[in-house]
């Protein structure tokens, strides 16, 4: 009886532990769902604003293959609390002069789970020969420093990616492109330079232990082209989906959905808002 009572108590304790573990997993799943919905809501709102901006302006800017944007020196990894400098060259390879050339630059990031947007910890800054002091890329994401480019000319910009020391481990994307605006119309680079990079937590700061996650594979798409020395990933912004991973883990699928919402929202906003005539620039 004593042995049976002891075994019964052990079984009850194990059952209690199992219930506690189940509640914790359920709580994490609920939190992941909420974060995913928040990311999707933010992406939908950004896309809606971009579409509204497009409808307010005049005609649509056309693709200009002769206008190219090349990124060099972009890292494959960055660490929280550091700043990394890289270069952008915008070249007018067309047979016409361009009266005003702008550079579009944006950065997006999620934590390692893919469910939480951590872009607030990342800032893009720029400088050029004519404006050497570092300036933060403002809310409209356009850098107005190159000015006019005659046929065959190019303009260079330095960009710096600042990562806050509090940034958690995760992954990020940058979108870099070039646009021009003339009195008789506007044009833009057909593809953006999209650079993928990993974010490492600051030294001495333990990285959060994420739930098991699948390897994310982006579907081949249009509108963005990988460039630069870092790891790059093409983002499909036309059919609104990323490639399936085959993972059966529910939490991992939720995390993937969150990361997909952020990436697709960023890509969609990039494509839509750049096609409106530059009334504000």
Interatomic CA distance for residues 270 and 43, integer angstroms:
11
Which residue, among 185, 173, 193, 188, has the nearest Cα to 265 in the 3D structure?
A: 173
Residue 66: its pLDDT value, please? 94
**Does residue 279 form part of some domain?**
no
Residue 173: its pLDDT value, please? 87
Which region among 56-60, 128-132, 138-142 has the lowest average model confidence (pLDDT)?
Answer: 56-60
19-78: per-residue pLDDT in tens?
Answer: 888 888 888 888 777 777 777 776 676 666 666 655 544 557 888 999 999 999 999 999
**Does residue 264 form part of some domain?**
yes
Give the mean pLDDT of the chain: 76
Which residue, among 67, 66, 108, 103, has the nearest Cα to 88 in the 3D structure?
A: 103
Interatomic CA distance for residues 281 and 279, integer angstroms:
6
173-184: per-residue pLDDT in tens?
Answer: 898 999 999 998
Query: For helices 2-56 and 250-273, what crossing angle results, to 10°?
Result: 10
Say if residue 127's pLDDT is above 90: yes
88-103: per-residue pLDDT in tens?
Answer: 999 999 999 999 999 9
- Range of 236's domain? 6-273
Q: What CATH number corresponds to the domain at position 88? A: 2.60.40.10
**Does residue 1 form part of some domain?**
no
221-272: per-residue pLDDT in tens?
Answer: 334 443 443 433 333 333 333 333 334 455 445 444 545 555 555 565 555 5
Residue 41: its pLDDT value, please? 72
Tokens linked to 269: 């906003």
Interatomic CA distance for residues 275 and 57, integer angstroms:
10
User: Based on the structure, what is the number of domains in the chain?
Assistant: 1
**Does residue 82 form part of some domain?**
yes
pTM of the full predicted structure? Answer: 0.61
Residue 209: its pLDDT value, please? 54
CA angle 180, 263, 169 (to 5 degrees): 115
**Does residue 278 form part of some domain?**
no
**Does residue 280 form part of some domain?**
no
The residue whose two tokens read 């049976």 is: 4
Interatomic CA distance for residues 104 and 177, integer angstroms:
5
* Of 23 and 161, the one with more pLDDT: 161
179-217: per-residue pLDDT in tens?
Answer: 999 998 889 888 888 888 999 999 765 555 555 444 433
**Does residue 248 form part of some domain?**
yes
**Does residue 132 form part of some domain?**
yes
Residue 246: its pLDDT value, please? 38
Do the Cβ atoms of 118 and 110 come closer than 8 Å? yes
Mean pLDDT, to the nearest integer, of 117-128? 93
Interatomic CA distance for residues 154 and 161, integer angstroms:
23
H helices present in the chain, as ranges: 2-56, 250-273
């Amino acid at each position: 009886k004593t042995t049976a009572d002891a075994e019964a108590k052990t079984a009850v304790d194990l059952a209690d532990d199992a219930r506690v573990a189940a509640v914790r997993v359920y709580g994490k799943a609920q939190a992941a769902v909420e974060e995913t919905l928040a990311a999707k809501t933010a992406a939908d709102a950004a896309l809606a604003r971009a579409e509204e901006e497009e409808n307010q302006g005049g005609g649509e800017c056309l693709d200009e293959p002769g206008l190219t944007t090349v990124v060099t020196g972009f890292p494959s990894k960055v660490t929280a609390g550091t700043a990394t400098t890289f270069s952008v060259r915008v070249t007018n390879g067309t047979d016409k002069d361009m009266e005003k050339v702008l550079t579009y630059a944006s950065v997006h990031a999620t934590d390692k789970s893919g469910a939480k947007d951590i872009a607030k910890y990342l800032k893009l800054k720029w400088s050029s020969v004519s404006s050497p002091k570092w300036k933060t890329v403002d809310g409209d994401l356009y850098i107005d420093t190159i000015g006019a480019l005659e046929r065959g000319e190019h303009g260079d910009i330095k960009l710096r990616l600042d990562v806050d020391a509090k940034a958690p481990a995760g992954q990020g994307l940058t979108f870099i492109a070039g646009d021009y605006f003339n009195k008789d119309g506007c044009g833009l680079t057909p593809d953006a330079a999209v650079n993928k990079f990993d974010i490492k937590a600051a030294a001495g700061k333990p990285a959060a232990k994420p739930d098991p996650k699948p390897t994310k594979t982006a579907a081949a798409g249009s509108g963005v082209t990988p460039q630069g020395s870092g790891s790059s990933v093409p983002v499909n912004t036309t059919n609104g989906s990323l490639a399936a991973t085959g993972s059966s883990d529910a939490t991992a699928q939720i995390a993937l959905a969150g990361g997909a919402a952020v990436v697709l929202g960023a890509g969609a906003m990039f494509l839509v808002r750049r096609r409106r005539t530059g009334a504000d620039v």
